[in-house]
């Protein structure tokens, strides 16, 4: 395939050499003549493991050359990979200046092109950038329609400095945000034979994934470093602590707890977070990350309350009260917290929970109810029918079978979904349905 790689910075340089090494005919494009000259002499314009040898090899084989003439490169290619920078301002705002300029330049070439061409954005950009900004620029400059006259896709890169060639040839995944199926097919073809699962998703999802990945990587580093600081303050070897932590692949280094949903609660997580942050303070260790986890959880509770308030009704039916299904534990249950807030704000609330019965509540559960929900007997109902008869809007906090059966009987009354119901994608077509994170 004939590929134009626009931007010979870190991502573009590696992408150009690696695609050329896979047999494609690649033209690198950059407005910096020094980078172009270096590339044409077989010298990589960046310092990176293996990239020097690879660049020399593909240039010598005639599969990679470079130019400052973007129009000629696009006209001679089947696909253009846009790898220009998106630097951030001091306030965090992403600059789209280079993307806009390149999109306009490519669009001008597409106006006179008599064959299909696919524009693939590799640059990191926020969700909405491609569809709301770049596609209109391409269409305006070309006078043509994206997805009909030319293709558009977003293909984020997952290259780490120091191992980018290895990462390209052995990717953890390949993400293709496709505007049209033809473009998705073309991008998928570029990666044929490489390992890792291929995900073909909507364009904004592909844009978001890159940010989620990098944010989580930063979060993990900050988490490990705070644990290290606390461990050292307490006289412990943090590497020994983390070796044991990382050995748990069922709950710790796993997919557990990574699905967006409602706030956490229960008898362990809030208590132990407070305890560790307090222990850090006793040894003069600041924990800006761990110290704000409970605040983030509190903010999520506020989001849930705001979603209920937005239904515009005061008669609310809540499915679930315990901190998770299958238990009657109410200690620091986020649903109990939400119920307390609703009652405190004067909402006419009814709650159904198959596992919670006033007659069985003893010990810590009884103490919690007496302190936080003393009027629980007035709002707890015994059957789903009582809840359905009462409510003008519903809050779903549990997904056990009685709840699912009851919701199948709900008409067009508003539903605030805190747990992502199994039929959530279909329910989103109903204007009264809202999910807390989807």
Task: Supply the residues annotated as catalytic.
Answer: 268
303 is in an annotated binding site: no
261 is in an annotated binding site: yes
257 is in an annotated binding site: yes
- Read off the tokens for 84: 């220009």
265 is in an annotated binding site: yes
140 is in an annotated binding site: no
Angle at which helix 238-247 crosses helix 203-233, to 10 degrees, equals 140
345 is in an annotated binding site: no
Contact 140, 169 (CB under 8 A): no
185 is in an annotated binding site: no
CA dihedral 377, 378, 380, 383 (to 10 degrees): 110
Return d(Cα 158, Cα 174) in angstroms, integer: 9
122 is in an annotated binding site: no
313 is in an annotated binding site: no
Could you tell me the sign of the dihedral formed by the alpha carbons of 327, 330, 336, 337, in that order? Answer: negative
Backbone region of residue 417 per phi and psi (left: phi > 0; alpha: psi in -120 to 50; beta: other values):
beta
Return d(Cα 348, Cα 66) in angstroms, integer: 69
158 is in an annotated binding site: yes
259 is in an annotated binding site: yes
Q: How far is CA 314 from CA 204, 307, 393, in A?
A: 36, 12, 8
**CA 315 to mean position of chain CA atoms:** 34
315 is in an annotated binding site: no
Q: Binding site for NAD(+): what residues are annotated?
A: 30, 35, 86, 124, 161, 271, 331
User: Which residues line the annotated binding site?
Assistant: 30, 35, 86, 124, 158-161, 210, 257-261, 265, 271, 324, 331
Residues of the binding site for substrate? 158-161, 210, 257-261, 265, 324
């Amino acid at each position: 395939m004939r590929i134009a790689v626009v931007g010979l910075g870190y991502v573009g340089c590696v992408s150009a050499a690696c695609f050329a090494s896979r047999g494609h005919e690649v033209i690198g494009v950059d407005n910096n003549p020094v980078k172009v000259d270096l590339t044409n002499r077989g010298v990589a314009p960046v310092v990176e493991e293996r990239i020097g040898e690879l660049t020399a090899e593909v240039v010598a084989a005639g599969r990679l050359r470079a130019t400052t003439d973007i129009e000629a490169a696009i006209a001679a290619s089947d696909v253009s990979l846009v790898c220009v920078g998106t630097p951030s301002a001091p306030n965090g705002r992403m600059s789209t200046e280079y993307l806009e300029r390149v999109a306009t330049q490519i669009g001008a070439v597409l106006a006179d092109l008599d064959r299909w061409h696919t524009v693939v954005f590799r640059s990191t950009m926020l969700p909405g950038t491609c569809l709301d900004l770049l596609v209109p620029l391409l269409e305006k400059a070309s006078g043509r329609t994206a997805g009909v006259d030319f293709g558009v896709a977003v293909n984020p890169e997952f290259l780490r400095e120091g191992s980018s060639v290895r990462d390209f040839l052995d990717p953890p995944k390949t993400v293709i945000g496709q505007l049209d199926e033809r473009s998705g097919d073309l991008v998928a073809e570029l990666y044929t034979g490489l390992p890792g699962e291929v995900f073909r998703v909507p364009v904004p999802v592909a844009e978001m994934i890159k940010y989620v990945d990098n944010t989580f990587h930063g979060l993990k580093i900050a988490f490990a470093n705070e644990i290290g600081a606390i461990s050292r303050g307490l006289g412990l070897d943090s590497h020994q602590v983390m070796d044991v932590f990382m050995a748990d692949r069922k709950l710790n280094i796993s997919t557990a707890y990574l699905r967006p949903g409602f706030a956490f609660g229960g008898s362990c997580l809030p208590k132990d977070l407070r305890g560790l942050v307090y222990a850090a303070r006793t040894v003069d260790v600041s924990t800006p990350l761990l110290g704000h986890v409970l605040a983030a959880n509190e903010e999520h509770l506020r989001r849930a309350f705001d979603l209920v308030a937005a239904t515009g009704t005061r008669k609310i039916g809540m499915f679930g009260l315990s901190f998770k299904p299958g238990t009657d534990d109410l200690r620091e249950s986020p649903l109990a917290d939400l119920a307390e807030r609703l009652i405190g704000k004067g909402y006419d609330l009814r709650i159904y929970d198959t596992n919670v019965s006033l007659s069985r509540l003893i010990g810590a559960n009884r103490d919690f109810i007496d302190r936080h929900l003393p009027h629980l007997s007035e709002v707890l109902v015994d059957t789903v029918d009582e809840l359905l008869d009462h409510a003008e809007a519903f809050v779903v906090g549990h997904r056990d079978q009685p709840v699912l059966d009851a919701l199948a009987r709900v008409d067009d009354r508003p539903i605030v979904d805190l747990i992502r119901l199994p039929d959530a994608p279909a329910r989103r077509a109903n204007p009264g349905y809202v999910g807390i994170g989807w």
